[in-house]
Amino acid sequence: PPQPIIGPPPKSQKYKGVKHTIMVMSGKGGVGKSTVSVNLAVTLANQSLKTGLIDADINGPDDPKMLGADNEKLYAQGDKILPVKTRYGVDLVSMGFILPTEDTAVIWRGALRHKAIQQFLEDVMWGERDYVIIDMPPGTGDEALSVSQLIDADGVVIVVTPQDIALLDAKKAINFANQLKVPVLGIVENMSGFICPHCGQTVDIFKRGGGEKAAEAYGVPFLGRIPLVAELVEKSDQGIPAVVYSEEMRKIFDEIARKVREQVEKK
Ligand code: ADP
Ligand code: MG
């Protein structure tokens, strides 16, 4: 079990020069947090916004691979970490750049994890940034808490899958955000319907609408629905984000980005 952190809780702080930080989280793992984080970040970068991405999922740091940057390394300047420039205009920090091999399991204890996350969050030389997206650790446990305590995020984007359980998952994430007093920017429903690679039609293999129901039930915005796309897995493994090759995905993420920006930038 994670060890308690001794001493006063770390001070919440915002990066100098970073205008907006957005956390992407979920009630559980494997729902598409990284997919949403990466594509949202690329979408913002495509809108000429200076965008950074923090892969804060230190157990499963997938973002370098998803951005075709898994052969890169992190460098330091003085005691600051320099983010890796990816080919999609998004600068990235990830534990994936530090772990010796892809399949090295991270089995550190709580305090050490917290330390690593703290460095990631506090010691990055971002410079001037419009947005930093944080791909959060899965769920609402200790690691997610560590991350959120270190940063005053502008808001949280919650990713759920379409099943009924989405209601419960969304609730967990919303409670978490409420406790931290971070606004919920809305819910994204991922893996919502299936686009047939042969006929191009959307087929419902899972239920649809769990995310939308959750948004309604808890009075938060619904940001959009992302279909299950067969080629996404393969392309994502090749380091090509969906918004780069799919017009449909571009439209969906433009809309998500619009709704996020509308809320965050009006403040
Ligand atoms: P998380 O970061 O929440 O663990 P990921 O974004 O890594 O989730 O997604 C889990 C897996 O599902 C990955 O292999 C990813 O490529 C795949 N995936 C995510 N969203 C979709 C989608 N809309 N269509 C097809 N595959 C998807
Ligand atoms: Mg992930």
Model pLDDT, residue 86? 97
Tens of pLDDT, residue by residue, the chain (267 residues): 555 544 444 444 567 789 999 999 998 888 999 999 999 999 999 999 999 999 998 888 899 999 999 999 888 888 888 999 999 999 999 988 876 665 556 556 667 777 777 877 888 999 999 999 999 988 888 888 888 888 889 999 999 998 767 788 899 999 999 999 999 999 999 998 877 777 777 776 656 678 888 899 999 999 999 998 888 999 999 999 999 999 999 999 999 999 999 999 986
Residues 223, 82: Cα–Cα separation, whole Å:
32
Model pLDDT, residue 123? 87
Model pLDDT, residue 142? 84
Distance from residue 7's CA to the centre of ligand 2 (Å): 30
Predicted structure pTM score? 0.90
Predicted-assembly ipTM surpassing the 0.95 threshold: yes
The closest-lying atom of ligand 1 relative to the alpha carbon of residue 226 is 23
Say yes or no: CB of residue 246 within 6 Å of ligand 1.
no
Which ligand approaches the C-alpha of residue 25 most closely?
1
Model pLDDT, residue 255? 98
Model pLDDT, residue 254? 98
- Rounded to the nearest 5°, which phi and psi values hold at 114? -60, -40
Say yes or no: CB of residue 136 within 6 Å of ligand 1.
no
Say yes or no: CB of residue 29 within 6 Å of ligand 1.
yes
